[in-house]
Amino acid sequence: MSSYNELSVEELCELKNGLEDKYNKFKSMGLSLDMSRGKPGGIQLNENNKLLDEVCSDSDFYSENGWDVRNYGLPYGIPECQRLFAEIMGVDEKNVVVCGNSSLNIMFDYISQCMTHGTGGCEPWMKQGKVKFLCPVPGYDRHFRILEYFGIEMINIPLLDDGPDMDMIESYVVDSSVKGMICVPKYSNPTGITFSDETVRRIAALKPAAGDFRILWDNAYIVHDLSESPDSLLEIFSECKKHNSEDMIIEVISSSKISYPGAGVAAVAASDSNINEIKKRIAVQTIGPDKINQIRHVRFFGSADGVYAHMKKLAKHMAPRFELVLKIFDEELSGKGIAEWTNPNGGYFINLKVLPGCAGRTVSLCADVGVKLTGAGAAFPYGKDPEDAYIRIAPSYPSEDELQSAMEVLCVCVRLAAVEKILEKREKS
């Protein structure tokens, strides 16, 4: 099949008729498939079920420092859980606070703290007039929603294959109203790329005009390798130490996609001075997190090695799904000049880039035959994809049969939307 752009109007019309026939067949199938969020599937969740047996009524309820985890206290987490997360992140445990169940929650609270109380001895952001954040795109919709909630202006920074466009970032940080960046450095949501060593080094070497410039380093997929040759990410704090810039980084992770989303454990790592600011706030916010959940996670995983071994088990469920999506894209979309996609070594998502102006139409065509995808534009601040070209694929939740059907529908919709767009352009010209 030659590229769609090379086809004559007659050939395109014929192609469109054939695709419409296929599409109408899907319509009559009464599908109801939800691929809108990156949730683990049931089989993956079952791999964790022994975790629930780790704390039972005749358990030893004491953390290693002798604290009864059933009671109030230890607002910064039990020491063995701090150590577990410190080991995973490659940082010192004294710089880690283990919180509740959600890293998103940690990020929200941190931004809120900067807005109302400031950081690094600077004025609260809410008193500094317009405050801006750099947002590598496509990115994670819920990050953008936090920033939008606080009225922080978001600046799109293209996310390239090796990380955000660093030339652009370096040119923006000379503006003192630019207060930070929010990013996913490993297996980014949604493109699945990992920041290169060079990118991490350039980030660590930034010299922002704002003394209170903070990077939310959301390492949500730090251990979520799927390939035999996984990506590796430089440890950011070690790089920052070379430039005395550790205060720039607030790193968060959680076990949401290691154990249970919503019932996992989340943690934050930050420099001495930032972690002290965070602790001061947390000491007011809570009398203590859910330490029963923390201890059962430590007992279930044992150590960082236990987490890595567990992730290998989960990868056995995830990798075939990624392979299936990529195989179908290859068979149905390649060589037509209408789509490109990422092939990540880990994480939860594949990013599909369709012809400009076709993402919204594709997603709505899918919805009309019962396949719900993440909304077009979701991966951009304010929900606005300037190219209307990006579609996030989340293969984790449906069964493999459902995934197969959903991808077949998607490919027909991508092709149909592309033919419509090309014909529309031809009519205009």
Ligand X SMILES: Cc1ncc(COP(=O)(O)O)c(C=O)c1O
Contact residues: ligand X, CB under 6 A: 38, 102-104, 140, 184, 189, 218, 220, 254, 256, 261, 266
Nearer of residues 183 and 210 to ligand X, judged by Cβ: 183
Report the nearest approach of ligand X to the CB of residue 193 (Å).
13
Token readout for 353 is 């880039």
* Burial (0-12, 13-18, 19+ Cβ within 10 Å), 392: buried
Asked whether 379 and 190 are in contact (CB, 8 A), the reply is: yes
Q: Would you call 335 helix, strand, or coil by DSSP?
A: coil
Nearer of residues 105 and 177 to ligand X, judged by Cβ: 105
Distance from C-alpha of 134 to C-alpha of 307, rounded to nearest angstrom:
32
Nearer of residues 266 and 422 to ligand X, judged by Cβ: 266
Place of tokens 């293969």: 395
Nearer of residues 258 and 416 to ligand X, judged by Cβ: 258
- Closest of 162, 164, 160, 183 to residue 172, by C-alpha: 164
Report the nearest approach of ligand X to the CB of residue 107 (Å).
8
Asked whether 298 and 84 are in contact (CB, 8 A), the reply is: yes
Nearer of residues 119 and 189 to ligand X, judged by Cβ: 189
Report the nearest approach of ligand X to the CB of residue 109 (Å).
12
Report the nearest approach of ligand X to the CB of residue 191 (Å).
11
Q: Would you call 277 helix, strand, or coil by DSSP?
A: helix
CA atoms within 13 A on the CB side of 207: 2
Nearer of residues 98 and 266 to ligand X, judged by Cβ: 266
Rg, C-alpha atoms of the chain: 23
The DSSP symbol for 177 reads T
Give the ranges where 252-339 is alpha helix by DSSP (H).
Answer: 272-285, 291-301, 304-333
Report the nearest approach of ligand X to the CB of residue 3 (Å).
34
Report the nearest approach of ligand X to the CB of residue 268 (Å).
11
Give the CB-nearest residue to ligand X.
254
